[in-house]
Amino acid sequence: MSTDIDSIFRSTCEPHATDAQRAIDKEIAGYDAAIRVLKTQRNTHSSISRLPPEIFAAIFQLVRSGQAQTAPVPSWINVTSVCRQWRAIALASPQMWTTIDISHPGSALELLKRSKSAPLQISCGTHPYDVGLHTLVAGAVMAEIGRMQTLQIWSMVDTDVLQFLPLPGVPGATILEDLQLSANTTVSQPPPNVLLSGMPSISRLSLVNIPISLEISPLPHLTYLRLSFTTGGIQTSLLLSYLQHSPNLKEIDISGVVKDTFLPSRVQLPNLLHISISSDILDVSAIFANLDYPSSVSVKFALTEEPAGEPDWSHLATLCARFAEPDAPTISKVLAHGWRFSDAFEFTVESVGSEKLSLVVALESGRYPEACLALCSGLPLEIVPVLEVGCLQDMRAPQWADLFRRFERIRCLHLSDVSTLPFSVLTELSLEKPHFSALQTLQLSACDLDREGSSAILGVLKDLLEQRKRHELPIKDVALQRCFITKGELEELKAITQVDWDGRARRERRRRSKLHLYRHAFLKPIDQLRTFMLVARR
């Protein structure tokens, strides 16, 4: 015990309680400080403390990389509170502070300082309430554009995105590899020639509602390109110019392409793996004729508006024709499906389980058959083993016959939501050789085989199976998925061939029946419903 405390207790006067407490607290604080010094000295002799600072920094980096960086205070930052040594090592490691989410501007400025000259990964996913502070942070971030490696900005307000566009005259983003800018509405007045210039290292570029300038610099390292517009769009000639300056592209995703009259020379894309283009104009599909890429590329085209006038399917049919090339991937399945409630037609070509061609066009249901036949005309159908056709209610018998005659070596036929016509046509064509000589599996989906008024489907199906069996061309397997059929009718089919029924339709029918009763009850007038409830109580 110190002399000050001893003197207080030895005094003949009664010691003041406050003075005694202060003296004791001071003494305790001294002991605590001494204990901390002793603990620090003890820790210096532990095994972990003898590790080089570089090892600590590497461990901290692993902890940081394995956790989310979006929280206002990331949990990995707790390593700086363990001891002075760990804090000093963390603060001396600029790479620990390079991932900055400026959605939290309070900490963003401090992180910028701690990152020193290390490459930065900048992101912003929300719009802060403090607009002034947000503007301050945006200015501080853009002042460091020379060491920016990743910039990802998503905002509901286009003016926020404009703050992150590099201005003319400032140093270029020489090490920027990943640039993603997204606005909820199209930016109306971006600074001229600010994008795609001074970015020689860019490898990923994603712009949503961000127009880009007419002048473009070569982008030799660009491998991923995404451009999307909710209003307006990008002209085909300008898009081809961008692609021409990016020969190493592997993935292309463009939404909102507008057709113009000028089409430059062909563009070589030898490293391309995937390309997706969507437009509200069918003629935009002509852009594929100006692209040279490997036949193994996965191609997608989406038409978002129904074509005005008579559709020209020739450009899309040309896309299908590439499967006839010698080095084209082998077709494993062709799908032609209409969507009854969305007025859209889907045409897909698969190769070993992966989509190689996907065409989705907005189209009224009456035009589904012509689209199906036009697109099939470009395919080497004689080698297609699996065909899936669905929801072509407006397909006439001659069109069904024309379609089926093109698939000479089909082994599996999948019909979904169809009428009796395809079965009748199949029965007639089964007598023609060599058509359907390889057909062994028939799959039916969403067909009400036992529904009143359409029970003829079951009869025609039985005729088809029996006829092929008599001519020694049996269909060995019939699969029923979500099909309504009675137990007796199912046994009749099983007497002809092997049938696999999932049984889901019967459960679905019971569920729908209950739902119908509930709806019927609640839609009754209130007085009838009260009467129903009174009778039920009695």
The pLDDT tens digits along the chain (538 residues) read 555 666 655 554 555 667 778 888 888 988 888 888 888 778 777 767 777 888 888 888 787 776 655 555 566 777 777 777 888 888 888 888 888 888 777 788 888 888 889 999 988 876 555 566 677 888 888 888 889 999 888 876 666 676 776 555 456 788 999 999 888 776 665 544 455 567 888 999 998 888 776 667 788 899 999 999 888 788 898 899 889 989 999 999 999 998 887 666 789 999 999 999 999 999 999 999 999 999 899 999 999 999 988 999 999 999 999 998 888 999 999 999 998 777 899 999 999 879 999 999 999 989 999 999 999 988 887 788 999 999 888 899 999 988 888 887 889 999 998 888 888 888 887 766 656 778 899 999 988 776 554 457 888 889 889 988 888 889 999 999 988 888 888 898 999 999 999 886 454 445 544 444 333 443 344 344 333 333 333 3
* Cβ-based neighbours of 79, under 8 Å, separated by 6 or more: 60, 63, 86, 90
Question: Do residues 132 and 206 both lie within one domain?
Answer: yes
Q: Which residue has the tokens 């599909």?
A: 285
Question: Do residues 114 and 140 both lie within one domain?
Answer: yes
Domain assignment present for residue 483? The answer is no
Residue 447's identity, in one-letter code, is C
Indicate the number of domains in the chain: 4
* Domain finish residue from 186, 211, 236: 211
Q: Which residues, in sequence order, are bridge partners of residue 480? A: 444, 501
Three-class SS of residue 280?
A: coil
pTM for the model: 0.78
Question: Do residues 81 and 141 both lie within one domain?
Answer: no
Question: Do residues 257 and 206 both lie within one domain?
Answer: no
Residue 67's domain comprises: 51-96
Q: Which two tokens stand for residue 507?
A: 């459960």
Closest CA to 84 of 111, 45, 44, 113: 44
Domain assignment present for residue 275? The answer is yes
Q: For residues 119 and 460, what is the distance between their CA atoms, to the nearest angstrom?
A: 70
Q: Which residues, in sequence order, are bridge partners of residue 518? A: none
Domain assignment present for residue 145? The answer is yes
Question: Do residues 127 and 23 both lie within one domain?
Answer: no
Whether residue 434 is preceded by a cis peptide bond, meaning omega within 30 degrees of 0, is yes
| Ramachandran class of 446: left when φ > 0, alpha when ψ lies in -120 to 50, beta otherwise | left
Q: Looking at residue 189, what DSSP letter applies?
A: -
Up-side HSE of residue 306: CA atoms within 13 Å toward CB? Answer: 12
Q: Which residue has the tokens 């190689």?
A: 356
φ, ψ for residue 465, nearest 5 deg: -65, -45
* Cβ-based neighbours of 76, under 8 Å, separated by 6 or more: 60, 63, 64, 67
Closest CA to 19 of 29, 28, 9, 31: 9
Question: Do residues 154 and 143 both lie within one domain?
Answer: yes
User: DSSP assignment of 107-141, as one string?
Assistant: HHHHHHHHHTTS-EEEEE-S--S-HHHHHHHHHHH
Question: Do residues 59 and 126 both lie within one domain?
Answer: no
Domain assignment present for residue 479? The answer is no
- How many CB atoms neighbour CB 50 within 10 A? 9
- Looking at residue 440, what is its pLDDT? 92
- Looking at residue 95, what is its pLDDT? 85
Question: Do residues 149 and 238 both lie within one domain?
Answer: no
Question: Do residues 177 and 201 both lie within one domain?
Answer: yes
Question: Do residues 119 and 206 both lie within one domain?
Answer: yes
User: DSSP assignment of 45-93, as one string?
Assistant: TSTGGGS-HHHHHHHHHHHHHTS-S-SSS-GGGGGGGS-HHHHHHHHT-
Domain assignment present for residue 538? The answer is no
Domain assignment present for residue 150? The answer is yes
Q: Which two tokens stand for residue 146?
A: 């020379």
Q: Which two tokens stand for residue 238?
A: 């300008």
Q: For residues 360 and 367, what is the distance between their CA atoms, to the nearest angstrom?
A: 13
Domain assignment present for residue 84? The answer is yes
Q: How long, in residues, is the chain?
A: 538
- Looking at residue 432, what is its pLDDT? 65
- How many CB atoms neighbour CB 346 within 10 A? 19
- Looking at residue 524, what is its pLDDT? 40
Question: Do residues 233 and 273 both lie within one domain?
Answer: yes
Helix or strand (DSSP H, E) at 416? strand 412-416
Q: Which residue has the tokens 């969403």?
A: 446
Q: Which residues, in sequence order, are bridge partners of residue 413? A: 387, 442
β-pairing, 354-362 vs 344-351, is antiparallel
* Domain finish residue from 64, 96, 128: 96
Domain assignment present for residue 486? The answer is no
Burial of 192 (0-12, 13-18, 19+ CB in 10 A): exposed
The sign of the CA dihedral 374, 376, 379, 380 is negative
Question: Do residues 20 and 34 both lie within one domain?
Answer: yes
* Domain finish residue from 211, 240, 255: 211
User: DSSP assignment of 150-173, as one string?
Assistant: EEEEEESSHHHHHTTSPPTTSPP-
Taking a C-beta distance cutoff of 8 angstroms, is the pair 94, 117 a contact? yes
- Looking at residue 139, what is its pLDDT? 83
Q: For residues 524 and 520, what is the distance between their CA atoms, to the nearest angstrom?
A: 6
φ, ψ for residue 138, nearest 5 deg: -60, -40
Closest CA to 155 of 126, 131, 178, 179: 126
Q: For residues 252 and 238, what is the distance between their CA atoms, to the nearest angstrom?
A: 15
